[in-house]
Chain A
Amino acid sequence: MNSFIIAGREFRNLFLSPLAWTMLGVTQLILAYMFLTQIDYYLSIQPKLVGIPGAPGVTDLIVAPLFGNAAVILLLITPLLTMRVISDERRNKTISLLFSAPISITEIVLGKFLAIFAFLLIILFFIALMPLSLLTVGELDIGKFLACLLAMALLMASFNALGLYMSAIASQPTVAAVASFGALLLLWIVDWAGINSGNSSSLFEYISIMRHFENLLRGLINSSDVFYFVLFIVGFLILSIRRLDNDRLQK
């Protein structure tokens, strides 16, 4: 309940600055362009696909790549969204408003998380409109489409949780942005080592966000992948709570 109060204010605050609007606009523009090129590509190879039994369909060739591209863009913009949620409050000393109100640290962190997640869901909604527009001219594999949406939502929540944690550690928003971007990118590419020689580490493969995300995009909803994301989100949320709680214990 209290989390929603904080989330509500934080969410409205997002739209008071041009940042949120710019992000919505830019993301949509770039993804629409990518969507268009994907359609173009599909149309060019469509005649060849007709003859092949079990060939990939619209969902595989247009929708999944679209969400894959969206993930990269999110990698770039989520740190900018999350960077100021906690570090700004700390810098402006408004955090004491929350600390002296009858609200637990968990509720504060959850509130911040929900606000950013709500904004990301708006982005997801607008992304999802693009594949849905294909329904006017053809058919979609709805199951795979929903898997993509799930993958996207989980990915967004994970980026969000990590960004939130970085914002809780950093004293300056820009530091938080750079740190979360670096961490996310590293987690994205961590399985690249040894991928060509064929002796890649299975640990790195498990850590890599990319692996789990791609499994889901392909329509394979594996509980271990979902579990990875849930663990990731919960883990960073707990770390954020601990970190914020530390503010009061500071030595």
Chain B
Amino acid sequence: MSTLIEVNNLSRQFGDHCAVNDVSFSLDKGEVLGFLGPNGAGKSTTMKMICGNLTPTVGEIKINGYDIIEQPKLAKAELGFLPEIPPLHPDLTVDEFLTYCAKLHGLKKTAIKKAVDQGKEKCGLSDMGKRLISNLSKGYQQRVGIAQAILHNPAVIILDEPTVGLDPIQILEIRELIRELGQQHSVILSTHILPEVQQSCSRVQIIHHGKLVLNESVEGLSRRMTSSSLVVDFRNPADLNQLEAINGVDYIDVLDSHQLRIHHEQGSNIAEAVAELAVNQRWGLQELRPEKHDMEQIFLSITQPSNDHE
């Protein structure tokens, strides 16, 4: 597969403040990359740099093989960008605005109408062509922003928080659209909404204090999310020593007189052994439940500790 985005040792300094610090990654065709991070982590800065809206202090960005600094025109022709605040001209109609965007991206006269119609259709704007952008609701404005980014069929689509301000139905539609786009293009999207990443992305990156702290495929992440602890509830008091003797158990937290949390090595399955032991010893097993880590926990565990250092 061809690499569409290549980012090497990217750093950005604002005065003394280092917004992005030595970030490197690459993205292949057909991948959807979810960009996560707490507020002010450097997501938007990174995206702006990839789109040529900000010049990096150090580092190199290649879009489809073209360097964004040295060959900006060629590189930007392959880009579609939706910034945090959609760049819309409020006194134009949707049609006028999209036609203008198509022209800016150098589409040929004959192709413009088709591109505009397709863009509107994909983003559910078909009936809105004659409406003034300033009269549209926030959700529809957001859609116009997305339409603008995908209009010229770019190889790389970068969306900064695309689902902000949309209603739940629209969010589902946009996620569907992103998945669809992901098949033909490379997509980077930043978001605060964690389930969104699980649903529409094939790779996840977490950026924190300007540093890339996690870069993993969604499968890898779901492996991380599988349990590494069991919660068990016995009617009769259990013998902790016997439980700890089970192969793979790390340690046991006593939650209350009945409940225990058994931490075990990741990948090993001890549920069966615990159940067997409980039945043999007549502890009266009432509950046995593997604990799932969700995305949020992983996100917190990655971003929190480094918070404590500061």
Closest Cβ of chain B to A90, distance in Å, is: 11
Chain B stretch 81-102: residues in CB contact (< 8 A) with chain A: 81, 83, 85, 87-92, 100-101
Closest Cβ of chain A to B85, distance in Å, is: 4
B142 is an interface residue with CB less than 8 A from chain A: no
Complex Cα distance A250/B57, Å? 10
Pick from B14, B54, B76, B91: contact of A101, CB below 8 A.
Answer: B76
Nearest B residue to A4, CB-CB: B103
Pick from B51, B89, B101: contact of A13, CB below 8 A.
Answer: B89
Closest Cβ of chain A to B186, distance in Å, is: 15
Complex Cα distance A92/B133, Å? 13
A104 is an interface residue with CB less than 8 A from chain B: yes
* Interface residues on chain B, size class: 20 to 34
Chain A stretch 34-72: residues in CB contact (< 8 A) with chain B: none
B237 is an interface residue with CB less than 8 A from chain A: no
B5 is an interface residue with CB less than 8 A from chain A: no
B305 is an interface residue with CB less than 8 A from chain A: no
Check A98 against B104 for contact (C-beta < 8 Å).
yes
* Interface residues on chain A, size class: 20 to 34
By a CB distance below 8 angstroms, the chain B residues around A129 are none
By a CB distance below 8 angstroms, the chain B residues around A9 are 89, 92, 100
Check B52 against A99 for contact (C-beta < 8 Å).
yes
Known: A94-B88, A96-B53. A101 touches B83 (CB 8 A): no
Complex Cα distance A248/B92, Å? 27
A197 is an interface residue with CB less than 8 A from chain B: no
Check B148 against A97 for contact (C-beta < 8 Å).
yes
Nearest B residue to A246, CB-CB: B55
Closest Cβ of chain B to A62, distance in Å, is: 40
Check A102 against B89 for contact (C-beta < 8 Å).
no
By a CB distance below 8 angstroms, the chain A residues around B101 are 97, 101
Check B77 against A97 for contact (C-beta < 8 Å).
no
By a CB distance below 8 angstroms, the chain B residues around A6 are 104
By a CB distance below 8 angstroms, the chain B residues around A92 are 87, 89-90
Check A13 against B91 for contact (C-beta < 8 Å).
yes
A17 is an interface residue with CB less than 8 A from chain B: yes
Q: Inter-chain contact count A-B, CB under 8 Å?
A: 72
By a CB distance below 8 angstroms, the chain B residues around A249 are 55
Q: Using an 8 Å CB-CB cutoff, how does the interface string of A83-109 with B read, 1 for contact, 0 for none?
A: 000000000111111111111100000
Complex Cα distance A97/B90, Å? 14
Pick from B13, B15, B87: contact of A97, CB below 8 A.
Answer: B87
Q: Using an 8 Å CB-CB cutoff, how does the interface string of B153-171 with A read, 1 for contact, 0 for none?
A: 0000000000000000000
Check A101 against B105 for contact (C-beta < 8 Å).
yes
Complex Cα distance A181/B92, Å? 29
Complex Cα distance A98/B148, Å? 12
Check B81 against A251 for contact (C-beta < 8 Å).
no
A135 is an interface residue with CB less than 8 A from chain B: no
Complex Cα distance A2/B85, Å? 24
Complex Cα distance A227/B310, Å? 60
By a CB distance below 8 angstroms, the chain A residues around B83 are 93, 96, 100
Check B73 against A104 for contact (C-beta < 8 Å).
yes
Check B91 against A17 for contact (C-beta < 8 Å).
yes
Q: Beyond A102-B74, A103-B76, list 10 extra A-B contacts (CB 8 Å).
A: A2-B104, A6-B104, A94-B87, A96-B51, A96-B83, A100-B79, A100-B83, A101-B104, A102-B105, A104-B72
A residues contacting B by CB (< 8 A) are: 2, 5-6, 9, 13, 16-17, 92-104, 248-251
B residues contacting A by CB (< 8 A) are: 13-15, 48, 51-55, 72-74, 76-77, 79, 81, 83, 85, 87-92, 100-101, 103-106, 148
Query: What are 7 A-B interface contacts by the 8 Å CB criterion?
Result: A5-B100, A5-B104, A93-B85, A94-B87, A96-B51, A102-B73, A250-B14
